[in-house]
């Protein structure tokens, strides 16, 4: 069970504020699964416009949070760090469902399980929860490409 604080998360993700959407890793088993955490605060820049009268975290950013957790799992599974010579891309999102809104003050639990890795494509089963409530789920397909 690997835990990671934000300083280590930053070593495995190329994302930075305001697009870094994983605050901590609670557990990680390389080649298998990861449980990450995103603390959702009213200070998030997207709440200024989504929606000022009823702040809700955009569903696409919940999916992005899950993908970032998957990226950490991918880099840890291959024992590599994120750096400027690689880009981590979505190649597909299947069966995405949004079950409940995510609001400021929520802790978004990111559960991502590796389904398979084939021909450079990583496929993950991903769920986001607030407490015991499933708020979003999807199958994510991602790849890493060299920029050089």
Q: Which residues are catalytic?
A: 50
Task: Yes or no: say if 130 and 54 are a contact pair by the CB < 8 Å rule.
Answer: no
Count, residues in the chain: 148
Q: Which two tokens stand for residue 141?
A: 């397909």
> Which residues make Cβ contacts (< 8 Å) with residue 7, sequence separation at least 6?
none
- To 5 degrees, how large is the angle CA 54–CA 57–CA 62? 160
DSSP state, 48?
Answer: G
CB atoms < 10 A from the CB of 108, how many?
23
């Amino acid at each position: 069970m690997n835990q990671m604080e934000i300083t280590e998360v930053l070593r495995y993700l190329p994302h930075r504020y305001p697009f870094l959407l994983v605050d901590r890793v609670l557990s990680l088993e390389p080649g298998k699964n990861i449980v990450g955490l995103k603390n959702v605060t009213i200070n998030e820049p997207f709440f200024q416009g989504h929606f000022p009268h009823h702040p809700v975290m955009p569903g696409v950013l919940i999916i992005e949070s899950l993908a970032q957790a998957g990226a950490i799992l991918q880099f840890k599974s291959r024992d590599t760090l994120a750096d400027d010579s690689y880009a981590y891309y979505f190649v597909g999102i299947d069966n995405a469902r949004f079950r409940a809104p995510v609001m400021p003050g929520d802790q978004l639990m990111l559960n991502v399980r590796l389904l398979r890795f084939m021909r450079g494509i990583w496929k993950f089963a991903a769920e986001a929860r607030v407490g015991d409530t499933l708020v979003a789920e999807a199958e994510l397909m991602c790849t890493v490409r060299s920029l050089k």
